Amino acid sequence: MEILPAIDIRGGKCVRLRQGDYGQETVFGDDPTEMAQRWADGGASRLHLVDLDGAKAGKPVNQEVVRKIVQSVSIPCQMGGGIRDEASIQLMLDDVGIDRVIVGTQALKDPQWFKEMVQRYPNRLALGLDARDSKVATEGWLDVSETSAIDLAKEYVGVELAAVIYTNIANDGMMQGVDEGTIQDMIALAELGLPVIASGGVTTLKDVTRLAEVSRAQPKLVGAIIGRALYEGTIEVPAAITAAEG
């Protein structure tokens, strides 16, 4: 199971939100590039970048910061936030140098378009499934739909998705751990044959160990994203990697 340190970018700075609430922001650093190097030096094999301004604007905003991060580390980076058209996908993959682009809102609004994009860019696009009470949220988490996360994921069984990144918004940035309900949702996604990355709520090594246990039983749980816990020091990257390897 891969550990992916998260870098959330807003106004060019490295920040964390609570439950995706733009009014509850903590700034953890003025230079996201320094953070990226720190996590890479800790042994991370991939970084998870989020353009929070982009998620709200519906188009990439912090691409120059992202470009600097990509150039400063020798590991692949995946990125989401505001990717709603093919031009943005191309910009991030071909120009900025992102390894894997995450699409959320537009995949819910237009599944056919997203399937076409996945066919055009096989194994380079990830589905961002952000859920509240197992229902999909979009537009930078500002809207909650009536679509269940599992139902949306079923649309993409058999296509060459790089991953499904499943976030329980209620847990995100709250430092309260990963609950069993979320774990069951992720197992259900993995059982569809989709490679799943867990996101939101990973607070201590106990959470990493629990997810690693699930991953051993269900190998399609391929990764875990860790955000606030790294910034607040409740988890260190090398220890998380060791726990993930079980």
Active site residues: 8, 130
Side chain identity at residue 52, one-letter code: L
Q: Which residues neighbour 1 within 8 Å (Cβ) at sequence distance 6 or greater?
A: 211, 212, 215, 221, 222, 223, 224, 244, 245
What does each C-alpha distance from 202 to 3, 162, 240 come to in angstroms? 11, 22, 10
Side chain identity at residue 97, one-letter code: G
Side chain identity at residue 220, one-letter code: K
- 225 with 48: CB under 8 angstroms? yes
Cα 50 to the center of its chain, rounded Å: 8
- Cα first-last separation, the chain: 9
What does each C-alpha distance from 193 to 114, 156, 182, 220, 243 come to in angstroms? 18, 10, 17, 7, 24
Q: Closest Cα to residue 179, out of 189, 190, 166, 170?
A: 170
